[in-house]
Structure 1
Amino acid sequence: MKSSSRKTGFRHLVHSTGYSLKGLVAAFRNETAFRQELALCAVLVPFAWWIGKNPVEWLVLVGSCVFVLIVELLNSAVETVVDRIGPEHHELSGRAKDIGSAAVMLALGMAATTWGLLAWDKFAG
């Protein structure tokens, strides 16, 4: 049975956007790693227009930065849920946090490789 108070269409989009912005603000306020990665992206993104030779390379460079932020947001969400369950150590809680951390590490490695290869191509190629 559908609730008559349920938001649909444009109203749903507006409210969903509000929740998303609330999540970004929460991550910025509470997650040091997110702030650090956001600052790094803010520094790197202007260089994408200089390093990239065409719009596809610009998109790849900027996209790799955004990908790191997305993975960090997901990792932070996992950590928040695990911490909400309780402060005591549990093997599965630790595993979940470690897997999230590994995802961030891989995203950072991919971004570093992307930027490194395109910078190498720009300066040595």
Structure 2
Amino acid sequence: MRNQPKYNFFKNTSYAIKGLQDLLRSETSFKIELFVAIALLPVIFFLDASITNKLLMFITLFGMLIAEAINSAIERVVDLVTLEHHPLAGRAKDIGSSVVFLSISVFVITWIFIIWESL
């Protein structure tokens, strides 16, 4: 049985905000990707594309941020368990990084095709 407090929307929201604040304070990659997302967000609104394509652009843009947040969480948990070099710890971190790489790849490919189609 898990020792988990009763669900509270406001407390859980405050935990999520604390997590975002921590990402912004300590994760350079997240800050860079957030800057890219903020800079490219207006493109979605001004591009002459279907609503479906705009939604795909939005999802892939924020999917990149979500992947970076998950990767940061994986890295923190691995560092909590051991700071010594261990092959499994390295593999876990590498897999987390590959999630970010794949999300960025999907983002770039999706945006290229949609922008190309809209020209």
Q: Say whether the fold is shared (TM-score over 0.5).
A: yes
Q: CA deviation at 1:59?
A: 1.2
Q: CA deviation at 1:98?
A: 0.2
Describe how 1:24-103 pairs up with structure 2 within 5 A: 24-103=20-99
111, 117, 123: which one pairs with 2:113?
A: 117
RMSD of aligned residue pairs (Cα, Å): 1.6
How many residues in Structure 1 have an aligned counterpart in Structure 2?
A: 117
More deviation, 105-114/41-50: 41-50
1:21 corresponds to which letter in structure 2?
I
Supply the distance in 1 between the matched residues of 2:47 and 2:94 (Cα, whole angstroms): 34
| Structure 2 partner of 1:20 | 16
Cα distance change, pair 51–30 in 1 and its aligned pair in 2 (3 A): same
Q: Which runs of 5+ in 2 are unaligned?
A: none
Q: CA deviation at 1:54?
A: 2.5
The TM-score, its normalising length taken from structure 2, stands at 0.91
The TM-score, its normalising length taken from structure 1, stands at 0.87
Q: CA deviation at 1:20?
A: 0.4
Supply the distance in 2 between the matched residues of 1:60 and 1:52 (Cα, whole angstroms): 14
2:79 corresponds to which letter in structure 1?
D
Deviating 4+ runs (over 3 angstroms):
none
Q: Which runs of 5+ in 1 are unaligned?
A: none
Identity of aligned residues (%): 37
SS at match of 2:23: helix
Considering only CA atoms, is the larger Rg found in Structure 1 or Structure 2? Answer: 1
1:65-99 per-residue CA deviation (whole Å, 9 max, x = no partner) reads 11111111000000011112232100000000000
